[in-house]
Amino acid sequence: MKLSELSTETGVSTASLKYYLRESLLAPGEPVTRTQSEYGPAHVERVRLIRALVDSGGLSLAQVRRVIDALDSPTVPRHELLGVAQEALMEAEKFDEDAEWTALATAFVEQRGWRIEDGDVLLPQLGAQLKALADTCDVGGRETLDRWADAAEIVAASDLDTLTGDDAQALRTAIVGTVLSDKVLQTLRRLAQQNRTAQLYEAARGSDGDSDQ
């Protein structure tokens, strides 16, 4: 198919497709003439992947590039798949590292028995996030954090259960699945909050009705 047909097939403008080509996010097509190239199913799949990562996953093009580089890299050992995924998705988020809160975050994951590498950037990031929470609102302290961690362990187990026997497909699932499922989990959390609020409201109304009798 021509570039214009690739645009129609994917719903992405030719201008965007040309940008992807210039930035090497999309592999060149097969040359047909001096000015035209032929594109195939692999290009359709790659364009849809880029759009999903940007539109649904909320990634920057810099992150998309890291994801694509990881997907196109040689096969990595299976026990390193999620590490490669996390590295590809890591953005240089701006946060003020606080040594005290980093120590608290590190102590928390150690008490949970989580095996985390020393110096992992996620530890000071977690510390900064916990500090921001403590500075701005009351979310229940350690008990709430433990319940969040319990939920995270369930999600992590589900993530690993989805990895197939094929290393290349497993890497794709680890990276793309993590990006897109983050948004699904965020939406499910909000829906669950609405449901829980409705349940508590109905329970409160029932209690008021009983007290009036």
- All structural domains of the chain with their residue ranges: 1-56
Across the chain, mean pLDDT equals 85
Q: Which CATH number fits domain 1-56: 3.40.50.2300, 1.20.140.10, 3.40.220.10, 1.10.1660.10?
A: 1.10.1660.10
Residues 6 or more apart whose CB falls under 8 angstroms from that of 96 comprise: 128
Q: Which residues of 192-209 are buried (b: 16+ CB within 10 A; e: fewer)?
A: eeeeeeeeeeeeeeeeee
pLDDT band for position 119 (cuts 50, 70, 90): confident
Q: What is the pTM (predicted TM-score) of this model? A: 0.71
Q: For 74-115, what is each residue's pLDDT tens digit? A: 666 666 666 666 766 666 456 788 999 999 999 999 999 999
Which stretch of 9-13, 104-108, 203-207 has the lowest confidence by average pLDDT? 203-207
% of the chain beyond a pLDDT of 90: 46
